[in-house]
Amino acid sequence: VPLQPGSTVEAKTETPPGPAVAAEGEERPGSAIGLGLRAFFGVVVWGQSYRNLLYLALSFPLGLGYFIFLVTGLSVGVSLIIIWVGIPILLLTLAGWWVMGMFERQLVIRLLRVDIPPMTRLTESGGVWARLKAHVRNPVTWKCLIYLFAEFPFGIAALSVLATTAFLAAFVAAPVIYPWVDWNIGSWEIDTLGEAFIWPVPGLLAALILMHVMNGMAYVWARFARLMLGAQVPEGAVASASQPVS
């Protein structure tokens, strides 16, 4: 069901890979080492890992677009404000970053599975001027601006992590592609099938570690988005802050 601007959904979380908490008095199955290995390798079958991966892949192009729009709109608007042309440009820029914030909020809710309160709890009463003043006084308006600027460096970091995936994929595929690729690791040249078979295992292990790193990045960013893109929920109103999507 599509969401209306300002609405929210109840976060639908999956249980992360790892051991379930045993009930009191029950004996936990397996050893601590076995449970740790399950948590480490289970990231591959955890669906949230791939939603996180998709969000990280989108963060660089989106962050770049937000950055270009904001820098252009703000710089042109401020420079032309002396001849009044800058005022409508700044108002359009403000409206634009609010729309981008709404889009980002929904994207984080859908992909990172975190519940974010509505961006505003203000009523729509009053004229245009009154609503504009309320919008400018809304802390989320300015937190949203900071968030959109922050997404650009975050996207660069995410792109760097994702680029490592191609490097690790080459390690995993080494036994297949080594005849057509010049493999040199330091002074070591990989030119036999036996040497090529050395690299898939460390490549896979590194890829698993990378998946945990990406999940950690997505977790931290989701909490940052909740802080920056949602209005503060009054104490005692948490239960009514979200509506489940049917």
**Tokens encoding 175:** 């036994």
Name the H helices within 80-199.
86-112, 128-137, 139-172, 174-177, 193-196
Residues 6+ apart with CB under 8 A from 56: 158, 161, 162, 214, 217, 218
pLDDT(52) > 80: yes
SS3 113: coil
Mean pLDDT of 142-154: 97
Please, which pLDDT band fits residue 165 given cuts at 50, 70 and 90? confident
| 180-220 residue pLDDT tens | 666 666 666 666 666 667 667 777 888 889 989 999 999 99
Q: Once rounded to an integer, what is the mean pLDDT over residues 109-127?
A: 83
Rounded Cα–Cα distance for residues 95 and 204 (Å): 46
Residue (of 113, 146, 89) closest to 14 by Cα position = 113
When pLDDT is averaged across residues 114-139 and rounded to a whole number, the result is 82
**For the ranges 100-109, 133-142, 169-178, the one whose mean pLDDT is highest:** 100-109
pLDDT of residue 142 exceeding 80: yes
Say which range, 35-49, 167-181, 209-223, has the weakest mean pLDDT.
167-181
Q: Which amino acid is at 134?
A: A
Residue 180 pLDDT: 63
For 172-181, what is the mean pLDDT?
A: 68
> Mean per-residue pLDDT for 33-58?
85
How wide is the angle at C-alpha 228 spanned by C-alphas 224 and 98, nearest 5°? 130
Cβ(220)–Cβ(150) under 8 Å? no
Q: Is 184 exposed, middle or buried (0-12, 13-18, 19+ CB in 10 A)?
A: exposed
Reported confidence tier of residue 35, pLDDT bands at 50, 70, 90: confident
Q: How confident is the model at residue 1 (pLDDT cuts 50, 70, 90)?
A: very low
- The better pLDDT of the pair 203, 19 is held by 203
Q: How far apart are CA 84 and CA 90, in angstroms?
A: 10
Mean pLDDT of 59-87: 95
Task: Name the token pair of 243.
Answer: 């509506």
Distance between CA atoms of residues 56 and 155, nearest Å: 7
* Tokens 């990045």, located at residue: 217
